[in-house]
Amino acid sequence: MFKPTKEHADTPSRLGLPPPSEFFVESGGATLHSWFFETDHSSATVFFVHGNAGNIADRLKVIKGYLKLGLNVFIFDPRGYGKSDGRPAPKAFIQDAFSAYSHLTEKIGIDPSKIIILGQSLGGVPAVRIASEKKCAGLVLEGTFASVRLLVKDLIPFPPIWVFVTPVLDNLREIKKIAVPVLIIAGENDETIPPINSRRLYETAPEPKELLIVAGALHTDMYAKSPDVYFGAWSRFVKQTVYNRAG
């Protein structure tokens, strides 16, 4: 389930990004490494919960796109990833995201009403839970599964027994509790987490909600496959949720 890497394959400076502020967040005995890219303290902020593979450096290209929209971006590595210590585990993955969100709002002082929570792939699990329990402006899910149980049943004829006893990974159950706008994005040709998962989440989520299936895109490469479509959807969503303006 978890495929962390420790080495950074890229750097902000190499991609022409401004140097981020670096923070180390305490979470249940572990220390989490995070970056905060700030364009304007009063702007909307993306709280980025990445997926199960790699580390924060692997998300720099899409972060560059968010910065071009004028958004701030806070991204962290859960325990076991990148410069964060500890070992990854499902419950710890969620705890780490809550700790990072508290750091962003309480220590850095970002107004929750200007935060868009982004859950990418497995990162959708803690993202949905934070959005249902904490104040925020909106929730974006990208390439996220409806539930591990349904995902594995779709992909494997005879799934292992643990799949049926892990309710912590059930996004369908949790998304019903959301009280903020939701944008769900998926790649049309995603074979890792097929887009039927995004459709299930969309059907279950309360209004207001939007579903975007990006033509030809695979797993979490929607920003690269159709940047105008992808970042256009982001721009409209931020205007509608944070700034209360029509798209």
Lowest mean pLDDT among 24-28, 87-91, 111-115, 156-160: 156-160
- pLDDT digits over 102-124, tens only? 999 999 999 999 999 999 999 99
Whether the link from the prior residue into 160 is cis, omega within 30° of 0, is: no
pLDDT of residue 162: 47
**Which H or E run contains 47?**
strand 45-49
Averaged confidence pLDDT in the chain: 92
pLDDT of residue 4: 96
How much is the pLDDT for 86? 97
The band of 200, judged by pLDDT with boundaries at 50, 70 and 90, is very high
Helix (H, G, I), strand (E, B) or coil at 213: strand
Q: Is the pLDDT of residue 96 over 80?
A: yes
* Dihedral, 13, 15, 76, 170 alpha carbons, nearest 10: 180
17: which 2 tokens? 């990004």
Q: Which residues are catalytic?
A: 121, 190, 219
**31: enclosing H helix or E strand:** strand 30-37
Query: What's the pLDDT score for residue 247?
Result: 53
The partner residues of 202 in beta bridges, in order of sequence, read none
Percentage of residues in the chain having pLDDT higher than 90: 86
* More confidently predicted of 40 and 180: 180
Measuring CA to CA, which residue among 37, 85, 28, 76 is closest to residue 55? 76
For residue 215, what pLDDT band results from cuts at 50, 70 and 90?
very high
State yes or no: pLDDT of 153 exceeds 80. Answer: no
What residues does each domain of the chain span? Answer: 3-241
pLDDT at 142: 98
- Angstrom distance (rounded) from CA 146 to CA 195: 10
Dist CA 117 CA 8 (whole Å) = 24
Which amino acid is residue 158, in one-letter code?
F
Which of the four CATH numbers 3.40.50.1010, 3.30.499.10, 3.40.50.1820, 3.90.550.10 does domain 3-241 have? Answer: 3.40.50.1820
DSSP per-residue string spanning 6-33: -S-S--TGGGTPPPPEEEEEEETTEEEE
User: In the prediction, which pLDDT does 40 show?
Assistant: 86
Mean pLDDT of the region 162-178: 75
The structure tokens listed for 243 are 């700034």
